[in-house]
Amino acid sequence: MRARMPLNYEIRVRGRVGDHLADSLGLAAEVEPVETVLRGPVQGQEDLHQILAELQEMGLELLEIRRLPPERG
């Protein structure tokens, strides 16, 4: 059985998310004037749903989520 490669996602939420929270989610945060862009690897759908649930529990409004193309290297 092959190990699954994580997929990179970009998640935009309204408001500001600090580095501490982003780190706890395993993502990097880029704070913009009215939103935060979270980026990083996600192991699978279950992990993605867990991240989204945590953001919802914090009362953050989800603006956009998208899977990023694989990095070439």
| Entry pTM | 0.86
Neighbours of 57 (CB within 10 A): 8
State the CB neighbour count (10 A cutoff) for residue 32. Answer: 9
- Who contacts 44 (Cβ-Cβ below 8 Å, separation ≥6)? 4
What pLDDT sits at residue 70?
82
9-63 tens-digit pLDDT: 999 999 988 889 899 999 999 999 999 999 999 999 999 999 999 999 989 999 9
Structural domains in the chain, sorted by start: 7-67 (3.30.70.980)
